[in-house]
Amino acid sequence: YMYPNLAEGQDAVRSVGEQIRMHGLPKALAPFSVVFTGNGAASKGAREIFSLLPHTMVSPEELATLPPDPHRLFGCVVEADHMAARKDGG
């Protein structure tokens, strides 16, 4: 969807967040996790919008053990060291 300005887009996301809070996501989607790569401008902007939803931020190590809570989303920021490792272990 397109909104005439950022404020209206944010209001739409907040409205979706309220629906998630009240009614939850389908149980088959829980836990619903969103992974943000890096700390650049795009990642920060995406996290700003994501913050309008009911969420909990978790570490990459926690992703495999998230509780199946349909009333909140889980966010995680991963850096290069989470995505790649040196062959020599250094």
Mean pLDDT (the chain) is 93
Query: d(Cα 57, Cα 9) in Å, to the nearest integer?
Result: 22
* 38: Cα separation from own chain's centroid: 13
pLDDT interval class at 71 (50, 70, 90): very high
Residue 61 burial by Cβ neighbours in a 10 Å radius (0-12, 13-18, 19+): exposed
Q: What is the C-alpha to C-alpha distance for residues 89 and 47, in angstroms, rounded to an integer?
A: 31
Q: pTM here?
A: 0.86
Q: Report pLDDT digits (tens) over 30-42.
A: 999 999 998 999 9
